[in-house]
Chains A and B, each alone.
Chain A
Amino acid sequence: MSDQQKNPFEIVERGPAFSDRLEVAPPPAGGAEDAHPSVAALRERFPDAVRRAEVSAGDQHVVYVDPDANLEVLGFLKTDDAHHYDLLVDVTAVDYGGGLPLQVVYQLWSIPHRRALRVKCELPLERLHIRSVTGLWNSANWLEREVFDLFGITFEGHPDLRRILMPENYAEGHPLRKDFPLRGRFSRAEQTRRALSQDPKDYYIPEELEVGGAPSLPEALRPRTLEDGSEG
Chain B
Amino acid sequence: MGLNRDAQGEAGAAVTPAGAHGGHRGGLFGGGGPTFLTTKLDFIINWGRRNSLWPMPFGTACCAIEMMASAASDYDLARFGMERMSFSPRQADVLICAGRVPYKLAPVLRRIWDQMSQPKWAVSMGACASSGGIFDAYSMVQGIDTIIPVDVYIPGCPPRPEALIYGLMMIQEKIRGETMDRRVELRAEDPYAAGAPRATPEEIAGLTGPFGNSTHQNQGSGRGPKDRVHRPADRIV
Q: How far is the CB of B165 from chain A (nearest CB, A)?
A: 27
Closest to A198 in B: B107
Segment at the B interface, from A4-12, A30-38, A186-194, A205-213: A186-194
Interface pair B197/A183, CB less than 8 Å apart? no
Interface pair A192/B220, CB less than 8 Å apart? no
Residues from chain A with Cβ under 8 Å of B104 in the complex: 166-167, 195
Interface pair A232/B233, CB less than 8 Å apart? no
Interface pair A191/B103, CB less than 8 Å apart? yes
Interface pair A183/B137, CB less than 8 Å apart? yes
Per the bound structure, the CA–CA distance linking A197 and B199 in Å amounts to 14
Asked if A20 lies at the interface with its beta carbon under 8 angstroms from chain B, I say no
Asked if B146 lies at the interface with its beta carbon under 8 angstroms from chain A, I say yes
Asked if A17 lies at the interface with its beta carbon under 8 angstroms from chain B, I say no
Interface pair B234/A152, CB less than 8 Å apart? yes
Interface pair B227/A98, CB less than 8 Å apart? yes
Asked if B118 lies at the interface with its beta carbon under 8 angstroms from chain A, I say no
Asked if B210 lies at the interface with its beta carbon under 8 angstroms from chain A, I say yes
Asked if A105 lies at the interface with its beta carbon under 8 angstroms from chain B, I say no
Interface membership of chain A positions 161-199, coded 1 if the CB is closer than 8 angstroms to chain B and 0 otherwise: 000001100011111011111111101111111111110
- A interface majority secondary structure: loop
Per the bound structure, the CA–CA distance linking A98 and B233 in Å amounts to 16
Interface pair A179/B231, CB less than 8 Å apart? yes
Q: How far is the CB of A99 from chain B (nearest CB, A)?
A: 5
Q: How many A-B residue pairs have CB under 8 A?
A: 108
Partner of A172, one of B106, B224, B236: B236
Interface pair A188/B235, CB less than 8 Å apart? no
Q: A188-B208, A192-B197, A195-B106 are in contact. Are A125 and B138 (CB under 8 A)?
A: no
Interface size on A, residues (CB 8 A): 40
Interface membership of chain B positions 106-127, coded 1 if the CB is closer than 8 angstroms to chain A and 0 otherwise: 1110111000000000000000
Q: How far is the CB of A147 from chain B (nearest CB, A)?
A: 13
Q: How far is the CB of B63 from chain A (nearest CB, A)?
A: 20
Interface pair B201/A193, CB less than 8 Å apart? yes
Interface pair A188/B204, CB less than 8 Å apart? yes
Q: A98-B225, A179-B228, A183-B210 are in contact. Are A192 and B233 (CB under 8 A)?
A: no
Interface pair A174/B201, CB less than 8 Å apart? no
Per the bound structure, the CA–CA distance linking A185 and B237 in Å amounts to 11
Asked if B212 lies at the interface with its beta carbon under 8 angstroms from chain A, I say no
Given contacts A183-B210, A184-B137, A196-B106, 11 further A-B contacts (CB under 8 A): A97-B220, A97-B225, A98-B224, A98-B227, A98-B229, A128-B233, A154-B233, A173-B234, A179-B228, A182-B217, A192-B103
Residue contacts A-B, CB under 8 angstroms, 16 given: A97-B229, A126-B233, A128-B233, A172-B138, A179-B228, A179-B231, A182-B218, A183-B138, A184-B139, A187-B205, A188-B142, A188-B146, A188-B204, A192-B103, A192-B146, A197-B195
Chain B residues within 8 Å of A, Cβ to Cβ: 103-104, 106-108, 110-112, 136-139, 141-142, 146-147, 195-197, 199, 201-202, 204-205, 208, 210, 217-218, 220, 222, 224-229, 231-237
